[in-house]
């Protein structure tokens, strides 16, 4: 009995030492694997950073060819205009930095005049005064065709690919149309009507993020007095204009940043709805059913607007200006 207990005790010690050895080996192998992964990841990061330093991302040149050999002639497009202005939110360095990168990328940085935004407790009033100040400045300089940007913009990826056709469409519109007021590069549409001008649509839209404005539009903005416009915003000047047009599809959109005008962060889905609604309205306006008429949202506040183009649909939700479209 005495010898048996010693044997059991010896076996227990042997088993314990073997188990301890296995555990130690497992831990050290895990540590070696982890350290190898860390070293590999660190080397990968260092290698990628070196590649980035040796091959910096350069801005798109004013004239650059795509894969098909077509030239992005930005200089030719921006040369159509007498002046280009950008409302600069000077207290937000991130926005200022990004807007300049966009302009450098698309060949217009050296053409732009940056104008400090007007700060007010009510963001809409400050924005209005900023646009009004630029309109007054343009008229004093005898500029009759200008582009105005707010600095929270970003160009669509398709802009470079479409620059040739956009240039031709805009030039054709400007040569043949004289009584227009606004031509949106970006907008929040509530009604669209097709026109005889390729790539240009007549619109009832919100948003002065980026737009081309003629002399009539400049005079309308410069003579406006906040907050006396539809919706009490500068956007209402464009929304109530029967001579407001837009490039289709839009070539500029908002960045997902804080809106000093609205006092809130912009939502991704909200901006997607702009483009989605633009496509739906255009396709309805371009249909045989709506030929020559405005296709409009009965209630544009709905995420999925109900589209109509005749008197038979309910007009209860329409504002007075949208109702007026039915008389055209």
pLDDT at position 262: 79
- Cβ atoms within 10 Å of 190's Cβ, excluding its own: 25
Give the CA radius of gyration of the chain: 30
For CA atoms 158, 247, 279, 190, the dihedral sign is: positive
Question: Are the CB atoms for 236 and 211 separated by under 8 Å?
Answer: no
| Distance in angstroms (rounded) separating the CA atoms of residues 291 and 309 | 9
pLDDT at position 293: 87
Which is more confidently placed, 55 or 279? Answer: 279
**Distance separating the N- and C-terminal Cα atoms of the chain:** 113
Which is more confidently placed, 301 or 196? Answer: 196
Mean pLDDT of the chain: 80
pLDDT digits (tens, 9 = 90+) for 36-88: 333 333 333 333 333 333 333 334 444 555 545 454 689 999 999 999 999 99
Give the pLDDT band of residue 30 (cuts 50, 70, 90). very low
pLDDT digits (tens, 9 = 90+) for 2-25: 455 656 666 666 666 666 556 555
| Distance in angstroms (rounded) separating the CA atoms of residues 137 and 117 | 14
pLDDT at position 307: 79
Spell out the domain ranges in the chain: 63-267
Report cis status (omega within 30 of 0) of the bond before 227: yes
Give the pLDDT band of residue 273 (cuts 50, 70, 90). confident
pLDDT at position 53: 31
Q: Is the pLDDT of residue 247 over 80?
A: yes
Report cis status (omega within 30 of 0) of the bond before 249: yes
Q: Quick one: average pLDDT of 233-246?
A: 95
pLDDT at position 226: 94
DSSP letters for 239-267: HT-TTEEEESS--EEE-SSEETTTTEEPP
Tokens 């956009």 correspond to 166
Instruction: Tell whether pTM > 0.85.
Output: no
Q: Quick one: average pLDDT of 249-266?
A: 88
Q: How large a percentage of the chain has pLDDT more than 90?
A: 51
Short-list 146, 129, 106, CA closest to 260: 129
- Cβ atoms within 10 Å of 312's Cβ, excluding its own: 7
Q: Quick one: average pLDDT of 227-251?
A: 95
Query: Which residues, at least 6 apart from 17, have a Cβ–Cβ distance to it below 8 Å?
Result: none
| Distance in angstroms (rounded) separating the CA atoms of residues 256 and 216 | 32
Question: Are the CB atoms for 181 and 202 separated by under 8 Å?
Answer: no
| Distance in angstroms (rounded) separating the CA atoms of residues 86 and 98 | 12
CATH code for residues 63-267: 3.90.550
| Distance in angstroms (rounded) separating the CA atoms of residues 84 and 107 | 12
Query: Which residues, at least 6 apart from 95, have a Cβ–Cβ distance to it below 8 Å?
Result: 89, 151, 152, 255, 257
pLDDT at position 316: 46
Backbone angles phi, psi at 146, to 5 degrees: -130, 160
Which is more confidently placed, 55 or 160? Answer: 160
Q: What angle do CA 308, 170, 147 make, to 5 degrees?
A: 95
Q: Where are the alpha helices (DSSP H) in the chain?
A: 2-54, 74-78, 93-105, 123-140, 159-176, 215-222, 235-239, 268-285, 320-325
Q: Is the pLDDT of residue 311 over 70?
A: no
pLDDT at position 19: 61
| Distance in angstroms (rounded) separating the CA atoms of residues 107 and 269 | 30
Q: Is the pLDDT of residue 299 over 70?
A: no
């Amino acid at each position: 009995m005495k010898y048996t207990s010693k044997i059991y005790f010896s076996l227990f010690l042997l088993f314990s030492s073997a188990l301890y050895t296995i555990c130690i080996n497992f831990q050290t192998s895990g540590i070696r694997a982890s350290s190898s992964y860390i070293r590999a990841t660190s080397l990968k990061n260092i290698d990628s950073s070196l590649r980035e330093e040796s091959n910096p991302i350069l801005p798109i040149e004013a004239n650059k060819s795509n894969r098909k050999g077509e030239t992005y002639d930005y200089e030719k497009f921006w040369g159509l205009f007498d002046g280009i202005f950008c409302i600069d939110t000077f207290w937000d360095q991130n926005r200022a930095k990004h807007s300049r990168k966009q302009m450098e990328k698309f060949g217009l940085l050296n053409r732009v005049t940056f104008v400090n935004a007007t700060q007010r407790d009510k963001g809409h009033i400050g924005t209005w005064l900023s646009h009004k100040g630029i309109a007054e400045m343009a008229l004093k300089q005898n500029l009759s065709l200008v582009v105005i940007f707010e600095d929270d913009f970003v160009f669509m990826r398709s802009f470079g690919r479409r620059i040739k056709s956009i240039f031709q469409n805009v030039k054709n519109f400007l040569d043949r149309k004289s009584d227009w007021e606004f031509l949106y590069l970006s907008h929040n549409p509530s009604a669209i009507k097709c026109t005889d001008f390729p790539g240009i649509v007549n619109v009832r839209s919100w948003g002065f993020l980026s737009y081309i404005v003629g002399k009539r539009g400049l005079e309308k903005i410069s003579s406006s007095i906040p907050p006396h416009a539809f919706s009490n915003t500068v956007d209402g000047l464009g929304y109530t204009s029967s001579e407001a047009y837009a490039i289709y599809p839009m070539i500029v959109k908002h960045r997902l940043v804080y809106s000093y005008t609205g006092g809130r962060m912009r939502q991704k889905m909200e901006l997607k709805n702009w483009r989605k609604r633009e496509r739906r309205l255009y396709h309805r306006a371009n249909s045989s059913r709506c030929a020559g008429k405005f296709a409009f949202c009965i209630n544009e506040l709905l995420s999925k607007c109900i589209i109509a183009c005749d008197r038979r649909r309910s007009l209860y939700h329409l504002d007075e200006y949208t109702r007026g479209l039915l008389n055209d």
